[in-house]
Structure 1
Amino acid sequence: MSSLPQEPSPLAGESDRDTAVQRLQEAYAEGHITHEEMDERLDRVLVARTRGDLAQALGSLPPEKPGTSATIGALSGRIVRRGPWRVPRTLRVESAFGRVHLDLSKAVIEHPVIDIVLGLGTGRAKITVPRDAVVDLDGLKSGWKDTVYRPPRNASGGGPTIRFTGAMGYGRLRIRHARR
């Protein structure tokens, strides 16, 4: 009796590694793993080639809490979120040809840090963040046009940190703080 060869595990991308690192940091912060164990697992995550390697590095961690990760996407057309909507801990936004408008000014934000992972081809994206939010753009790659963001002059801080990662293709990203 011969067994069929198993399909190889898909290759791990930067966003997969980023998500794994976040899970390890959260597990450490919640006391599920020690500092030494987190360091060891982080090393394994950073050199992982496949998603299977990442799964092994995350083995024995408690399952992710429901509602901590979500993906919204469209091939073409618009993605719009505004008003009182619940923002997950990690939000993936994927759009090949459309426009994206996310308004977080009235959204329900339950986490001190929100990661927004952008995967945008062409088109524009406009994101409004709460007035007191701290914006981190260090992990965002832009292919064609620069991201437009000006921190408020009298930033009070104290709000959630919103980290943007991922990649923009040929569109432009505008981020602004809510006026009220």
Structure 2
Amino acid sequence: MARRAAQDPEPVDPPRERASDAEREDVAAMLARAMVAGRLTPVEYSDRAAIAQAARYRDQLDGLLSDLPGFVLHSSHGSDVLDLEAGLGGSITRRGYWKVPPTVRVRSWVGRVLLDFSEAEATTAVTAVELVTGMCTPTIVLPEGATADVDDLRISAGAVRDETVHRRERGDLHVSVRGRHSFGDVVLRHPVRGRWERLRALPAEAPRSVARRVTRVHRPARPDARRSDGPGR
């Protein structure tokens, strides 16, 4: 009897990844926000929060968020994290095209911090920006249609200046700003449109006075203009 050909070995499932305390706390916080948004009932939140606190593996935590749009558990290590750190008075700037991982960690003291997502490529629908900053004004620029939250951000001797467009549902990109910041404001805004872009955005039937007013606001003063002290002079 012919010997049977050796069969390929059966694929082995990858080992399950252990969950960390920080990941369990992140999931519990996301479940709380989902309840406030009306996606979970108080009973559902209580049941899932208890499971999250007792979870040993990451796939158990993932299952608690699978039916909640926009809520994703991010890994806390490896290529999923971008660490941006500047020395005292140093500058951190990301603008133009750059690839955004699920988590961006920023550490800066007395230095400029600018994260411009308007032309960036995000690898996930939700990006966490973790701040450990002070004595500066971190500025986060979101593309039109993107949303943000600062639910897990702690600020001392400062405030959040949120100039973004708020909506009930999360945008295609959602930035969750968390961590701690002291002695300065945190600014969230959309890209600043130039003068001509604002003029083009005016409706066609807008009164001419409106267009003239917009134009005058941004018209530089003539350096050779003479001051008038009264009629006839």
Q: TM-score range by the shorter chain?
A: 0.5 to 0.7
The question of whether the paired residues in 1 share the 8 Å contact of 2:141 and 2:188 is answered with yes
- Higher alpha-carbon deviation: 150-159 or 68-77: 150-159
Flag the structure with higher strand content. Answer: 1
Structure 1 or 2, whichever has the larger Rg, is 2
| 2:102 is aligned with 1:89 | yes
Normalised TM-score (structure 1): 0.65
Which of 180, 183, 186 in structure 2 is aligned with 1:167? 180
Residues of 2 paired with 1:124 and 1:108: CA distance?
A: 24
Partner of 2:127: 114
Write the deviation string for residues 108-146 of structure 1: whole angstroms up to 9, x where unpaired. Answer: 112011111111122121110111111111111110111
Q: For 1:25-44, list aligned pairs within 5 A.
A: 42-44=52-54
The 1:116–1:18 alpha-carbon spacing in structure 2 relative to 1, beyond 3 Å, is farther
SS at match of 1:67: helix
Deviations 1:29-53 (A, max 9, x none): xxxxxxxxx86663158xxxxxxxx
Are the structure 2 counterparts of residues 43 and 75 from structure 1 closer, same or farther at C-alpha, using a change threshold of 3 Å?
same
Q: Which amino acid aligns with 1:88?
A: P
Answering whether residue 114 of structure 2 is matched by residue 104 of structure 1, we say no
More contact order relative to length (CA 8 Å, sep ≥ 6) = 1
TM-score w.r.t. the length of structure 2 is 0.51
Q: Which blocks of at least 5 consecutive residues in structure 1 are unaligned?
A: 1-15, 25-37, 46-56
Partners of 2:87 and 2:106 in 1: CA distance: 11
Taking the aligned partners of 2:27 and 2:53, their CA distance within structure 1 comes to: 14
Q: Residues of 2 paired with 1:19 and 1:97: CA distance? A: 30
SS of the residue aligned with 2:158?
A: coil
Whether the 8 Å CA contact 2:24–2:53 is kept in 1: the answer is: no
Question: Percent identical across equivalent pairs?
Answer: 25
In 2, the alpha carbon distance for the partners of 1:115 and 1:125 equals 15
Q: Aligned residues, how many?
A: 146
Identify the structure with the greater helix proportion.
Answer: 2
The answer for unaligned runs of 5 or more in structure 2 is 1-19, 29-47, 61-74, 194-233
Root-mean-square deviation (CA, aligned residues, Å) is 3.8
Change (3 A) 1:22 1:69: farther
Q: Compute the displacement of 1:150 (Å).
A: 2.4
SS at match of 1:101: strand
**DSSP-derived class of the 2:53 partner:** helix
Corresponding position: 1:142 with 2:152: no
